[in-house]
Structure 1
């Protein structure tokens, strides 16, 4: 008998598992292809932005040296071989010219050795008191003995406090630990120990040592007692002749005789003249400019391949760059290309690359027109520097223009500045002109003890009680002594402040703070009767407070602190700072230009900023889209799983029905075979 199920064309021969997989694949293929294509495109864009960022960084590195005037102030020196002088460094902006040097003497440091010897450098000396070490210049008598000492008012004295249990080594250590260039060491000579003290080099840095207790007298070296120490070397200045002019310096390390040239004196060699020339070196800047042009062209070709459309010369097929339709990338490149053709803000006349023979070609790259470029380097080198490097200038030498940490926010251009209040320093002035006096002179009352003590307050810091001592035959001697006393006071030194003592033509003494501004001030807070009558300085002397500079910049009130004038926050000039000299009242102007190199570097910084940069923001957007694709992928996977489950369930149900039909068919066939009058199929 024919099977009913077979007759219906069904049966258990269907591979439902394979059929479900094929149906799911067909359903997935189109949306999966869209997701894969979109993800591949976005990942390619991320990679392309990485290449763009890298090329921007390389371009920025190529202009680093051009952001400083130093590259345009490079110097070359032709120095002969000699063992008399060693050239150490030639700085940018060194003074050009031809020079002849002759070393007459080298600087020498004074050395003192104590005559007193000790068996043990680590045993207590049982000495107490203070050693005062002053720096200055000694004059000597006919027998070469110390005759008089003139203190170096620019150097600070040392006060070494010695305790009873201090050893010879302790005293040496305390001298070395003081904030000074004075150095001490303990020598072992013939089985005994001696103290050696070395001064800084130079005639004005020799030492005067005074003790306030007899137990320390073995270390004295002063006009009253110099036999306890042996002066093995006297302080001496270096003497060199520069083009025949004698110049003296305290050190053999010379960096301020010829501006920008640092050299060392090795030995004296009178009669040996060393000739050399310092000349401008424009070749260094020229090479850097050429490197910049090459770097820009490399950048532009990279950027063009990412954002442009190229055509195959053979097949004439066009291919779009990965970022060809990306507006952000195109805007970045457009901004940089525009800067290459624009004039440099804040620079007048000779102010664009085209002025020095650098032109933009049709393909967007830069080309150097050699004859024009060479002429610009040879004839307009200062103008070339102004195109690339930052430049500031002022209409008066009384105003110095500087760039602060926020100079990147300043708008290049010309500014008007009006100084309405000049900066000044606080001071106190004596009531009378100088008249010679000697603090050892008892005066009209021989029985009275002279009182030349005084105290001073400088910039709000009170000094200790000070005592003036000496025979003052000139106003300059008094000036030097007062300045030394005040500046060597422990309280004044600790506050890192100081004074300059001045004498006018009439002999009137002024003690002037070294700081500008309203916090600057000097006053006598206490004085002995003899001090007041001899110097004319007392608590009643006229004190004048310092003033902060005041003024406007482009009509806007500026902030003055001391002698520094700052533009208003948020104004065009914000980021520029002005240093104003005393007496700079009135209307002036100053100019500021950042230069092409700095402008370009600043622009690249804005593009590459990790937070607010255009590239970072665009990459964040692309990564967000990639994250969205991951979510879409998860959603597609869930839908396909559900579809697969539904198909599997349907085919499972179908199989169950088919199995049921097959069972029923078999039963009917058996029934038919048992019915009467039913012929067997066989």
Structure 2
């Protein structure tokens, strides 16, 4: 039986011997661990470097844009009235802003309906067209009827009339339309309502009618006297003792009126006249609305005169009283009340309509159609159809809360989605198949500011109205741009405020300090990772690493070189704005020198940091650049300008073009290859007769009203040229710009465009610096591989050939940001270096595992050898013991 525990039989410490031998054999393992730890330390260091460089790049990203250095600050004195923002193109200064009116949308409301789901009308197919436009002329308000007969003698008692819940001050002296208007206008600031008196006109039959006079020959032969006055002006008189026909007759009255003295006296009283007494058409009028009293003053026995022929005339007095109209200042409804509104010519209630106005559709605004039939002829169905149409009008149903038998609480409310006077609605209805529109739908929805207004205006479309330094400006929205170049003003409330636009030197200083701080933090990290500490005689984990050295050298090289490609500036290096190196390699900023540069070269500082492009041609604008774009001056040559897709009519439009009922055209706009379904839609054109301008407006707004087009940003313009021909044009430029029309039903497109055909747009083409460039619409981009790689310019104007030169420069922040990008990311140098180090660690691990496997074999061999030696010695010791015993026994014997 063998020995189970090595060394017991022989006394040799086999385990200790093998352990010490294996300690010698495994010594190389420490080298593996040392190498692996070194590599892992470098991986960790590169991780720190990547984080620091990422932070540096993040700090630079906000400094690569010109706007970071050319910001202007706009400060209103009253921030409740306006807010504002200024671009780098704005001029500094102080401006006085007065906001007189805030833009709003038009809102229309219907009468009440009992149910939102009950059928309206009989379900006849009716097409309802919504157009947006502008109302001009006329006014919005109420037209009053003739004032009460008693007004000229008794006036209008106090409390008789209220407007928008304000009592109008009337009394016994309020005896004419003019005086009533004066009383109303005295409260207009409170009520928002003004009054216009109508011209007072005497009765058309007062002096006769139908060519026959009823003014009898005046006879004072009986001893009486006679005089006739108009508005207190004596027109004619007859003394006693004059027989009929020998004195005042209708013809004599006309002669008196023709006399200069009478004419002057009437004019002084603001009274004019038309017609003649001889043919019974004589009428007097007063334009200011004052009453006109026509009085016959008689004494004694007199015959003849007004309505008198041979009978006794005892005198007469007739007073003509005018009427007034009410005008809402902001187009909102007017509420009329009081104890006797009828005395003022009005009925109690709330209302208003456009009076004497005209409507012009706005071609830039969308229009659209909905079809109502037996499937959706309810308030709810109409609401859903309008909202689904997405053509600039939203619908809602509002309940006024009325209840009980006969209550009609539900009102359809329509609101334009845009503000501004051009968002006023016109709603027209047309039947189908030669049938008229459903009368019930017409009664509900027909609305024309120049005609029938079956809906009530609850709020008028309005522009923002303001003055800037005394110059009147308007805007369809609450934003006012263009009044001050480079400044956008947001109107918040009616009121006044000053606006100061100044250089934002604080932001610029912050940006420059941010650049210095970001560099110094990165420099500190680089020094820590790759530097050597003489005191501790230790180096950083990346001491001598080529990747770190290349990064540090690249940054310093870029910061030490001057900026090239800048046009029209004297700033080409950082020292000119106070940035310089210190002995420890960090940057320092001289704020006094920076402020001096801000004061003298504010707009040029951006070129030291950001990517800047400037051309000699003002119609060539810098859009963007790429990481491979090189700084320099490049000649620009344009061989083809971008164009728009166009459908040009060949037919000179007549004075009027008739569009038949059920006319629809299929429109394809800015389609692609292969075709995209959403780029094609069918539009319905309302039946009617249109002049060329109206037809262009109808077509443009109908196409732009297609929601799929609007969502894609695709729009068209329709114009009528001097030759009377209609042109339809996509607003997009380039090879992706196109417009095609096909008749679907009704009036054929040829009735409008003749034999005109569509021409697709083309992209701009040319070279930048003599290098190939790719056009896309009006954008021209330098081709890859060239110095202009990624340089993107927007080319407008109408000239081809040489378009001057374009200078492009890359500021320090832009260059360093691009440099950092080459080290970061999946393909960056740091990632590549880290990957290599990790792979080295993996290789060392494999080598270590293989070496450990060999050590196991070596240990097994050592144990086998020393176990065998142990066994042999134990056997020999056993033999020696036996022999010793035998020899001892022999010796005794």
In structure 2, the gaps of 5 or more residues are: 1-7, 144-353, 431-436, 672-679
Partner SS, residue 558 of structure 2: helix
Aligned to 2:388: 177
Q: CA RMSD in A?
A: 3.4
Structure 2 equivalent of residue 5 of structure 1? none
| Residue in 2 that maps onto 1:251 | 477
Choose the corresponding residue for 2:42, options 41, 45, 54.
45
Question: SS state of the match for residue 849, structure 2?
Answer: helix
2:848 match: 633
Superposed counterparts of 1:210-359, under 5 Å: 210-212=428-430, 213-214=437-438, 215-217=440-442, 218-222=444-448, 226-254=452-480, 257-258=483-484, 261-269=487-495, 273-312=496-535, 318-347=537-566, 350-359=571-580
Q: Residue in 1 aligned with 2:213?
A: none
1:39: Cα distance to partner? 2.1
Flag the 1:456–1:640 CA change in 2: closer, same or farther, 3 A: closer
CA 135–558 in structure 1, closer or farther in 2 if over 3 Å, else same: same
Matched, 1:18 2:16: yes
Query: Where does 1:481-630 land on structure 2 (aligned, <5 Å)?
Result: 481-484=698-701, 487-488=704-705, 497-504=714-721, 509-518=726-735, 520=737, 537-539=753-755, 541=756, 546-588=761-803, 589-610=805-826, 612-630=827-845
Deviation at 1:374, TM superposition (A): 3.3
Change (3 A) 1:378 1:492: closer
How has the CA–CA distance of structure 1 residues 182 and 96 changed in structure 2, closer, same or farther, with 3 Å as cutoff?
Answer: farther
Q: Which residue of 1 aligns with 2:857?
A: 642
Asked if structure 2 preserves the Cα contact closer than 8 Å seen for 1:524 and 1:538, the reply is no
Structure 2 residue matching 1:149: 3-state secondary structure = strand
C-alpha displacement of 1:643:
2.1
Match of 2:33 in 1: 36
Distance 1:669 1:342, change over 3 A: same
Q: Deviations over 1:321-374 (max 9, x none)?
A: 222132222122211221221223433652222332322233322233454333
Post-superposition offset of 1:555: 2.4
Q: Which residues of 2 match residues 41-440 of structure 1 at below 5 A?
A: 41-81=38-78, 83=80, 85-87=81-83, 94-115=90-111, 117-125=112-120, 127=123, 128-139=125-136, 141=138, 143=143, 144-145=354-355, 147-166=357-376, 167-189=378-400, 190-191=402-403, 192=408, 193-199=410-416, 200-212=418-430, 213-214=437-438, 215-217=440-442, 218-222=444-448, 226-254=452-480, 257-258=483-484, 261-269=487-495, 273-312=496-535, 318-347=537-566, 350-403=571-624, 407-429=626-648, 436-437=655-656, 439=658
- Cα 1:377–1:426 shift into 2, 3 Å: same
Report the Cα offset of residue 620 of structure 1: 1.5
Query: Are the structure 2 counterparts of residues 519 and 373 from structure 1 closer, same or farther at C-alpha, using a change threshold of 3 Å?
Result: closer
Aligned residue pair count: 643
**Residues 538 and 465 from structure 1, CA distance in 2 versus in 1: closer, same or farther, beyond 3 angstroms?**
farther
Instruction: Name the CA distance, whole Å, in 1 between partners of 2:858 and 2:375.
Output: 97
Contact 2:393 2:415 (C-alpha < 8 Å) held by counterparts: yes
Residue 385 of structure 1 deviates from its aligned partner by 1.0
For 2:800 and 2:21, the matched residues in 1 are separated by 91
Distance 1:174 1:525 in 2: 25
1:679 to partner: Cα distance: 5.0
The secondary structure found in structure 2 opposite 1:408 is coil
Distance 1:488 1:302, change over 3 A: closer
Q: Which moved more, 1:462-471 or 1:347-356?
A: 462-471
Q: Deviations over 1:35-66 (max 9, x none)?
A: 23222222222222222222212222222221
Q: How many angstroms does 1:500 deviate by?
A: 2.3
Residues 389 and 544 of structure 1, relative CA distance in 2, 3 Å threshold: same
Cα distance in 1 for residues equivalent to 2:747 and 2:846: 92
- Range with bigger deviation, 625-634 or 550-559: 550-559
CA distance in 1, matches of 2:25, 2:707: 90
Take 1:119 and 1:178, find their aligned partners in 2: how far apart are those partners?
A: 25
Shift of 1:538: 0.8
For residues 650 and 709 of structure 2, what CA distance do their matches in structure 1 show? 24
Check whether the contact 1:452–1:468 (CA below 8 A) recurs between aligned residues.
yes
Distance, in Å, in 2 between the alignment partners of 1:62 and 1:300 is 14
| 1:112 positional shift | 1.4
Residue 241 to residue 26, structure 1, CA distance change in 2 (3 Å): same
8 A Cα contact 1:101 1:241, kept in partner: yes
Name the structure, 1 or 2, with higher relative contact order (CA <8 Å, separation 6+).
Answer: 2
Q: Is the 8 A contact 2:766 2:773 kept in 1?
A: yes
Q: Measured at CA, do residues 168 and 256 of structure 1 come closer, stay the same or move farther in structure 2, by a change above 3 Å?
A: farther
C-alpha separation between the residues in 2 aligned to 1:380 and 1:495?
42
SS at match of 1:603: helix
**C-alpha distance in structure 1 between counterparts of 2:458 and 2:90, whole Å:** 39
Aligned equivalents of 1:235 and 1:197: distance in 2? 12
Q: Answer whether contact 2:135 2:449 (CA < 8 A) is retained.
A: no
Distance 2:708 2:592 in 1: 66
How far apart are 1:630 and its partner, in Å? 1.2
Give CA-to-partner distance per residue, 1:281-312, whole Å, 9 cap, x none.
Answer: 12212122123213322321321232222212
Unaligned 5+ runs, structure 1: 1-9, 441-448
Instruction: Quote the Cα distance in structure 1 between the aligned partners of 2:738 and 2:24.
Output: 91
Secondary structure at the aligned position of 1:67 is classed as coil
Q: Deviations over 1:459-516 (max 9, x none)?
A: 67696675774463xx655543453455457897798644323345565554433233
In structure 2, relative to structure 1, the CA distance for the partners of 1:468 and 1:513 (3 Å cut) is farther
Contact 1:392 1:592 in 2 (8 A): yes
- The offset of 1:585, in angstroms, is 0.9
User: For the structure 1 residues 454 and 668, does the alpha-carbon distance in structure 2 shift closer, same or farther, using more than 3 Å as the test?
Assistant: closer
Which range moved further: 567-576 or 498-507? 498-507
- Partners of 2:94 and 2:384 lie apart in 1 by 47
Does the aligned pair in 1 maintain the 2:642–2:763 contact within 8 Å? yes
Q: Distance in 1 between matches of 2:507 and 2:822?
A: 29
Structure 1 residues 295 and 568, CA gap change in structure 2 (3 angstroms): closer
Q: Distance in 2 between matches of 1:620 and 1:137?
A: 68
Tell me which protein shows more helix as a share of its residues: 1
Equivalent pair of 1:341/1:354 in contact (CA under 8 Å): no
SS in 2 for 1:73: coil
**1:465 to 1:457, Cα distance in 2 relative to 1, 3 A:** farther
The residue that corresponds to 1:3 in the other structure is: none
Q: TM-score, normalised by structure 1?
A: 0.85
1:141-191 alpha-carbon deviations (Å, 9 max, x no partner): 464336432111111112222242433123223323332442222122223
How far apart, in 1, do the equivalents of 2:664 and 2:526 lie? 78
Preserved contact between residue 739 and residue 758 of structure 2 (Cα < 8 Å): yes
Q: How many Å apart are 1:568 and its aligned residue?
A: 2.7
The residue number in structure 2 matching 1:4 is: none
Is the 1:135–1:152 Cα contact (8 Å) retained in structure 2? yes
Cα distance in 1 between the residues matched to 2:478 and 2:842: 68
CA distance, structure 2, for counterparts of residue 307 and residue 351 of structure 1: 31
Higher mean displacement: 644-653 or 120-129? 120-129
**In structure 1, how many angstroms separate the alpha carbons of the residues matched to 2:441 and 2:758?**
41
